[in-house]
Each structure stands twice: as C-alpha cells, then as structure tokens.
Amino acid sequence: MEKKRCNFSFGNGKISEKVLLYHDTRWCKTEHRDRELFAMLVLEGMQAGVSWNLILDKEENFRKAFDGFDPQTVANYGEEKIEALMQDQGIIRNRSKIKAAITNARAFLKVQEEFGSFDAFIWSFTDGKAVDHHLSDIKDMPAKDALSEKVSAEFKRRGFKFVGPTIVYSYLQGIGVINDHWEYCDFR
C-alpha cells in the first residue's frame, strides 16, 4: 500500500526524490544538533524569493561552499570568501544573503555562548515541545503565526538577518518546532 503524504509538498508535475526524502525524513522532524540548526537557518534565508525545491537541489553545494555550515568558520568569512561564494554557480549568488549568513553565524555563536547551545535557545520558545497544528488541508497552514512573530522579533533583536516571521515559520517547520504534516500523512 502506498504511503500517504502531505500533497502540498510536491507542487505540479514530477516529484523529485530530494523533495520526497526531505518531506519524509526531515520536514517537521525535531532537530537538536546545533550545526544542523544553523544550516537550516542559512538555507531558509537563502530560500527567500526562490522555491524550496531549488534550495534542496543546491543543498549539497551549499554545504560544501559554506564549510559544512560550521558557524565558527562562517562567522570568520571575509571579503575574499564572499567574492569566492559570489562566483560559485552551485549556490544562490546573492551578496545580501551571503552576508546575512555570516552575520547570522556571529549572532548564532553569541546565542550558543549565552544559552550553552542554540538548541536550548530555540526550543525554549515552546518549553522543549513541538507545536502540532493537526492540519487537514493546505488552507489551514498559515504563512506565519504568533510563535514565528515572537521568534522573528527575538532573532532581529539579537542581530540576525533574513529572519522575518514567514521565513522563521518555515524554519520552525524545518527543524520540527512546528509539525504541520497533515493529519492523514503517514510521515507525521
């Protein structure tokens, strides 16, 4: 018997294996590894204005270009590295987004220092519990909510960039703080 999936994840036409794998194994699944929490923050920021499918297609290139998303390394990038990234055809070559990734790495490290881990910080907004919206239709899924607005405001206060409430909502889904798999989805 074929497994049921949230049908909004697949767009029109052919479903890529990367999209299926992301939906089935990562989306709305709790993530607690700081490096992966940073990776998803960068990827979500890169996604602004482009499709998530494009980000997934380029994800491995991003991981290589951004030194495995090691926040300590990214925080130390200078103009030479920015210029190299601007020439890398395997990633989104947007100077503002690249600079935001560096700024966010620095802010991320400050959060780690203050809270002991970024994981402790991000999960503190929900007392360590995932928020499950028990959705039954795409029309029920918001682009943002009170939680993403609160987290976005705190990110901005701490100097993060490309962290508006819509990007943060998607980020919270991506790291499992929010579970928006539909009720009938076998991958809840």
Annotated active-site residue 182? The verdict is: no
Q: Which of 2, 27, 36, 44 is catalytic?
A: 44
Q: Is 134 helix (H, G, I), strand (E, B) or coil?
A: coil
The token pair that represents 54 in the structure block: 């494009």
Greatest pairwise CA separation for the chain in angstroms: 53
Give the number of C-alpha atoms closer than 13 A to the C-alpha of residue 143, restricted to the C-beta side: 5
Q: Give which of 116, 4, 96, 119 is closest to 45, Cα–Cα.
A: 96
Q: Which of 27, 52, 77, 169 is catalytic?
A: 52
Q: Which of 22, 27, 171, 182 is catalytic?
A: 22
Annotated active-site residue 2? The verdict is: no
Q: Which residues are catalytic?
A: 22, 44, 52
